Amino acid sequence: MQMQKAIIGKKVGMTQIFDESGKVIPVTVIEAGPCVVTQKKTAEKDGYAAVQLGFEDVKESKLSKPEAGHLKKAEVSPKRHLKEFRIEKAADMNVGEEVKASIFAAGDKVDVTGISKGHGFEGPVKRCGGHRIPMTHGGGPVHRQAGSMGSTSTPARIFKGHHGAGQMGVDQVTVENLDVVKVDSELNMIVVRGAIPGPKGGIVYLKNTVKNFKAKGTAANASINPQKASARTNPQKASARNR
């Protein structure tokens, strides 16, 4: 499923709202855009179609000379964050065009990508969900250490990816298939159901979800072979069973 629309935003924080029936909905507020198209790539010249979006104005002195020259060539104001998206209708977009939060609407399904919170160097209990050594019967001062890592002579090494202490967080994380609860085009706000990765003020990327769910129902569950159809879709088969 190709990307249809995308935007760069900033995580404001989490709150809760109530729906028409009075049920509470945990939501995350995102300041989405306005973004500007800073570069356009075509299949003829670059081998694929895509657009680069810029978000959040910044002083030109804060950019490197290559970044400042790149944005001057596009005749757009200096931007702090740049991100390329392979959008389905990239050929119809032009450099300098503005992308706002209004491209999304309530009821849309989106995938949100961000950098998770950093926790520094953490031990195996917090980082990998490891168990603690019993506190009694000679546990010693090693209650939260990793313990045995494997066999001795064979393979005589620790496999890559084994649980243990190390850097936790600061990873790119994507949360898929979140509901857009509300869109405020005046405030450039998009409210999505649930939590998204990253701290407050962190940069996130919103795009339409890659998930493709089929409608549930009797027709969707029906078998193509009439001999294997269930009693729900084949009443003659059900009557034969009851004879």
Residues 80 and 182 in one domain: yes
Residues 146 and 239 in one domain: no
Is residue 1 situated within a structural domain? Answer: no
Residues 37 and 76 in one domain: yes
Residues 94 and 138 in one domain: no
Residues 28 and 146 in one domain: no
**Model pLDDT, residue 126:** 93
Looking at residues 92-119, what average pLDDT do you find?
A: 91
Q: CA-to-CA distance for 65 and 125, rounded, in angstroms?
A: 45
pLDDT tens-place string over residues 54-76: 998 999 999 999 999 999 988 88
Q: What is the CATH number of the domain that holds 151?
A: 4.10.960.10
Displacement of CA 89 from its chain's centroid (Å): 21
Residues 89 and 181 in one domain: yes
DSSP designation for 41? E
Residues 160 and 177 in one domain: no
Q: How many domains does the chain have?
A: 3
Q: CA-to-CA distance for 43 and 94, rounded, in angstroms?
A: 15
User: Residue 141 belongs to what domain range?
Assistant: 119-168
Looking at residues 18-42, what average pLDDT do you find?
A: 91
In this structure, the strands spanning 189-193 and 24-32 are antiparallel
Residues 74 and 141 in one domain: no
